[in-house]
Amino acid sequence: MSCLKIVEIYAYLDGESPADQREKIERHLSACPKCREAVEERKLLTEAASSLPSLDIPTDFTGRVMAKIAPAKRHLPVWLIAFAAGLSSLALLLIIVAISGGKYLLSLLTTLNHSMWEYAKNVAVFIAKLVTILSLAGKVLSLLTQPFYKGLTLLTTLISPGVQIFIITLTLVLFITFFYVLRKKFMMGEKI
């Protein structure tokens, strides 16, 4: 065997040479100091390359990553907390003023109860009005869509059932394709 080529040395060191080739190389190495030295040198270099130090990683790194992918539970907005605090302070102040003004707590509670009842009545009236408006809107909408349904009915009498099935299938396929295209477009990350 002639002297080793560089690629043969690396393949040999990687254990990638076929068994018969390996045998030949080893026989050659025992007889050729130049190749032996070249192999030894590349072996030591490879070992040095394989023991490069790891880079320092901060102790809180995992936590940082997890905080990025799983943000902490949503807290209530500051304005809402401030509003609630203000409202409860006001209620407390009213109670104190009422009691210190000589009213009994019981009568104060009765007054509050009455106000609450009034409020509930107002809300009920509002909901009733809203339901009426919505039902009217429904009626108007059904009047508007009637011509469309009539047109559709006429169309189904004109087109044969086979063509109708074809149109429905085509629409479905187009819709699903559109959905997947959009999904792929907005998908992050990589796929092998």
Partner 1 sequence: MSSMNEEKEKELVRRTLRGEKNAFEMLVRNYQQPLLNYIGRMVGEREMALDFTQDVFVRAYASLRSFEPKYKFSTWLFKIASNLVIDYWRKKKIPTFSLSEPLGEDCEGLTLEIRDDEPSVVWKFELAELGKKVEWALEQIPAPLRELFVWRHTNGLSYEEMAEIKNLPVGTVKNRVYQAKEMIRELLEAKP
* Shortest reach from residue 188's CB to partner 1, in Å: 4
Among 64, 73, 75, 185, binds partner 1 (CB under 8 A): 64
Please tell me the distance from the alpha carbon of residue 25 to that of residue 36, in angstroms, as a whole number. 10
Q: Does 53 bind partner 1 (CB under 8 A)?
A: yes
* Shortest reach from residue 75's CB to partner 1, in Å: 19
Return all residues near 64 (Cβ < 8 A) that are at least 6 apart: 58
Among 1, 26, 27, 66, binds partner 1 (CB under 8 A): 66
Q: Does 51 bind partner 1 (CB under 8 A)?
A: yes
Please tell me the distance from the alpha carbon of residue 73 to that of residue 145, in angstroms, as a whole number. 45
Please tell me the distance from the alpha carbon of residue 91 to that of residue 99, in angstroms, as a whole number. 12
Q: Of 77 and 189, which has the nearer Cβ to partner 1? A: 189
Please tell me the distance from the alpha carbon of residue 138 to that of residue 35, in angstroms, as a whole number. 92
* 45 touches 37 (CB < 8 A): no
Among 23, 26, 30, 44, binds partner 1 (CB under 8 A): 44
Tokens for 26, please give them.
């080893």
Where in 13-32 is the site for partner 1 (CB under 8 A)? 14, 16
Among 3, 124, 165, 181, binds partner 1 (CB under 8 A): 3
Q: Count the site residues for partner 1 by CB under 8 A.
A: 46
Q: Of 53 and 161, which has the nearer Cβ to partner 1? A: 53
Q: Does 181 bind partner 1 (CB under 8 A)?
A: no
Q: Of 56 and 102, which has the nearer Cβ to partner 1? A: 56
Tokens for 25, please give them.
């190389």
* 23 touches 1 (CB < 8 A): no
Place of tokens 């009539």: 150
Return all residues near 159 (Cβ < 8 A) that are at least 6 apart: 167
Residues near partner 1, by CB under 8 A: 2-7, 9-11, 14, 16, 34-35, 37-38, 40-42, 44-46, 48-58, 61-62, 64-66, 68-70, 187-192
